[in-house]
Copies of this chain bind each other. A is one copy, B any other.
Amino acid sequence: MTTKKTTNDAETCLAQGLLKVLSGKWKPEIFRLAAEAPLRFSSLLRQIQGSNKQTLSVALKELDEAGLLEKVVVKQKPLHIEYHLTKKGKSLVPVLKQLEAMS
C-alpha cells in the first residue's frame, strides 16, 4: 500500500499515514487479533480464512514497519515467531474503538 506522493501534502493530511497502513483487505482484522493475543503466522492463516500466506506476510511486514507490531522470536519447544502490538500499536486501540463506536 505504498502510493506515490502527490504535490498535495497528502502525507501530512488527517491521519493519512495510519489510514494507509490500516487499509488493505486483512489489516484491520490482523490488528484486532493482535490486540487480543500474540499472533503466530500459521494460526493467523487458519483464523483468517479466505486469506493467504503472501498477503498476510506482506501485511504483517507493513504493520511491523509502521511500528504497530513487532516480531518476537520465541525460543521454546517449537521455536516460533510471535507478533506483538508495540507501544504505538497499543495506543492505537482506544482510538480505533472510538471509531468503532461512532460507526
Contacts and interface: CB of A to CB of B under 8 A. Distances in A.
Interface of A: 1, 3, 6-8, 10, 13-20, 22-25, 28-29, 31-32, 35, 47-50, 88, 91-93, 95-100, 102-103
A99 B7 contact: no
Work out how many copies of this chain go into the complex: 2
A25 B48 CA distance: 25
Given A16-B100, A18-B103, A20-B23, 10 more contacts: A7-B50, A8-B49, A10-B28, A13-B32, A14-B32, A19-B23, A22-B23, A91-B102, A92-B102, A98-B98
For the complex, would chain A's binding face be called helix, strand, loop or mixed by DSSP majority?
helix
A96 B20 CA distance: 13
